[in-house]
Structure 1
Amino acid sequence: MGWLSGARQADYARRDLDVLAGRLASAGVSTTALDPARLAEIDQHAAAVRDILTSEGGTAGVVELAAYAQGVLDAAAEAGWTPESHTTASVESTTNWIVLRLLAVCALTDSSPAGDVPDIDPLLFT
């Protein structure tokens, strides 16, 4: 029954990432109003995140993306940054990196298949 806990993990991870996207949007940060240069930066961050998560045979599924985003948020919180404290006028390079990295994770989540469930039993589909 490991697949059931995997499905639950994926649901929780997707919920956490939806909350993150909502927090970013509430802070005025989203990809909808970005110029092409910023979108290209987000694409580069997304590629970097995907490379980090898959470098040693891992996957870039929703559970891994949520864990990665939480790590970024934890490090940012230690530096005193939260999505709610972010201002769109801020151009500090660290803040900019955090925002771009989190937007990249959200973009990867949006492109992640809905059935992205870790530890699923392949015999269920035979």
Structure 2
Amino acid sequence: MRNGFFADCPLTRLSRDFDLFASESVSADPALTAELDQHAAAVRDSILADRVEVTRRSLVHYLQGFIDGCRERGWDSSSVEYDWETLRVLAICRMAKEYGFVR
């Protein structure tokens, strides 16, 4: 296992769920892929605006803050459709894979 890889990291758990939940529908839908790209860019811009590099730690920190905010607003992800919050979480998971933070 490479240095810095945590098997129990929230990004790892969510990325596994991402593969099960959305991998087929995302690859088959260009519009959904474009939306995820926009969400990923917004996440990246938010992290960089804090003058922090995009690292596993900064992405986990962003994810935890985002999920906390969703919970405070009473967000429920039981919808069949991809709502804004679900798209943001899926984009974070995709970023984690693209940056090599998870396998």
- TM-score of the pair, normalised by structure 2: 0.76
8 Å contact kept, 2:18–2:93: no
Q: Identity percentage over the alignment?
A: 32
For 1:113 and 1:18, the matched residues in 2 are separated by 11
Query: 1:18 and 1:105, CA in 2 relative to 1: closer, same or farther beyond 3 A?
Result: same
For 2:71 and 2:16, the matched residues in 1 are separated by 17
Query: 1:74 and 1:24, CA in 2 relative to 1: closer, same or farther beyond 3 A?
Result: farther
RMSD over aligned CA atoms reads 2.6
Segments of structure 1 that go 5 or more residues without pairing to the other structure are 1-5, 115-126
8 Å contact kept, 2:15–2:94: no
Aligned to 2:22: 30
Following superposition, the deviation at residue 98 of structure 1 comes to 0.6
Letter in 1 for 2:79: T
Aligned to 1:48: 42
1:41-83, Cα deviation, whole Å (9 max, x unpaired) = 000110111111112431111111111111111111112225x
Aligned to 1:58: 52
8 Å contact kept, 1:16–1:66: yes
Segments of structure 2 that go 5 or more residues without pairing to the other structure are none
**What is the 5 A alignment of 1:1-126?**
7=4, 11=6, 15-23=9-17, 29-34=21-26, 35-82=29-76, 85-89=77-81, 96-114=83-101
Aligned residue pair count: 97
8 Å contact kept, 2:48–2:54: yes
Q: Over alpha carbons, which structure has the higher Rg?
A: 1
For 2:73 and 2:19, the matched residues in 1 are separated by 21
